Amino acid sequence: MSLYDKVFQHLLVKMDAEQAHHLTYDALRAGGPVLSRAPIPGGRPIRAMGLTFPNRLGLAPGFDKNAQVYDRMGAFGFGHVEIGTVTALAQPGNPKPRLFRLPDDRAIVNRMGFNNDGSAVVAARLARRKKREGGLVLGVNIGKSKVVPDDDQAAVEADYETSTRRLAPHADYLVVNVSSPNTPGLRNLQAVEKLAPLLAHVRRTADEVTVAPLPLLVKIAPDLSDDDVLAVADMALDLGLAGVIATNTTISREGLRTPAAKVEAIGAGGLSGAPLTERSTEVLRLLRGRVGNQLTLIGVGGISTPEEAAARIEAGADLVQAYSALIYGGPMWPRQILKAL
């Protein structure tokens, strides 16, 4: 058992999950000047979407919603970091408590609700970013503001447009998130008839505010049917997207080791971590089988071990991301994964 395992089992697991996150966040902010200049350890560079990634491993969104510590994460081994999800309007998110650990399943349940400082504030922070050759690749993940009704397509497109105009000039790639279960109606936007015009609008907007074409991706849920996954793949090809990220959190609670009463007491939210491994891999295989080598695929969801990271690459992922596994594995976890990649 590592030192981190002992700290986690005897201290962190007894602390409110969101409080523990903020303590980690504060420590990273304090260590900024040192960590932000540290070289990215290990790994082998890979070209994807016209970008050079220092390695295949990235930090998924949710850890750094507000672009305050992303530049520190390369020191731990991440080759790219996806910030967000950022919305056009600042919003507090859902009532607390809203973040829960399921240690028996090495999983997390969250119903954060896109709590963030808003695209204007985040864009101002990113404007100070200094890009380094061969350095950390930055993805920006944008979502719908809660007050915008999902059945008003014009309002939805305007909301995403605002975020795109502000954030696209500072991103290395941009992700449209329509797959979180914690914003009412958001997943309805995954229907191709709504998603295609939204992505086309974001594409046009990004082209207006960037000098070179910015890679645009969409992130989908593991709860889509196989037919819907294939429909998204076809749409991504038709629109000329750079790629697809598979997958977001799930609303399923099947097969958990955690007692049902505890799971029920926690309530609604997206489940992440080890229970997603099988379905996220299945979705990735479906996508790769459909798009061939024409799109970049990022595998995320349930990658906890070096073997699982390697298996996701074998299933068709060009890049992989994780977040929940970092919580359970600690600061040395990324280096363990890099050895397999």
Tokens of 331: 């600061």
- Residues noted as catalytic: 180
Annotated binding residue at 177? yes
Cβ atoms 118, 89 nearer than 8 A? yes
Question: Does 100 appear as a known binding residue?
Answer: no
DSSP state of 26: H
Tell me: is residue 305 an annotated ligand-binding position.
no
273 belongs to an annotated ligand binding site: yes
Cis peptide before 281 (omega within 30 of 0): no
Helix or strand holding residue 245 (H, E): strand 243-246
Q: Is 53 annotated as a binding residue?
A: no
As a whole number of angstroms, the distance between CA 218 and CA 228 comes to 14
Q: Is 237 exposed, middle or buried (0-12, 13-18, 19+ CB in 10 A)?
A: middle
- 115 labeled part of a ligand binding site: no
Q: Is 2 annotated as a binding residue?
A: no
Q: Would you give the distance in Å from CA 314 to the centre of its chain?
A: 20
Q: Confirm whether residue 330 is marked as ligand binding.
A: no
Any binding-site annotation on 141?
Answer: yes
Rg of the chain taking only CA atoms, in angstroms: 18
Please give the structure tokens belonging to residue 198.
């939204």
User: Distance from CA of residue 91 to its chain's centroid?
Assistant: 19
Q: Does 302 show up as a binding residue in the annotation?
A: yes
- Check the annotation: does 25 bind a ligand: no
76 is an annotated ligand-binding site residue? no
Residue 116 marked ligand-binding: no
Handedness of CA 254, 256, 260, 263 (dihedral sign): negative
Annotation-wise, does 4 bind a ligand?
A: no
Per this entry, what is the length of the chain?
Answer: 341
Q: What is the DSSP string of 97-165?
A: P-EEEEGGGTEEEE-----B--HHHHHHHHTT----TT--EEEEEEE--TTS-TT-HHHHHHHHHHHHH
Burial 268-291 (b: 16+ CB within 10 A, else e): ebbbbbbbbbebbbbbbbbbbebb
Question: Can you say which residues are annotated as belonging to the binding site?
Answer: 61-65, 85, 110-114, 141, 177, 182, 219, 247-249, 273, 302, 323-324
Question: Can you say which residues are annotated as belonging to the binding site for substrate?
Answer: 65, 110-114, 177, 182, 248-249
Question: Can you say which residues are annotated as belonging to the binding site for FMN?
Answer: 61-65, 85, 141, 177, 219, 247, 273, 302, 323-324
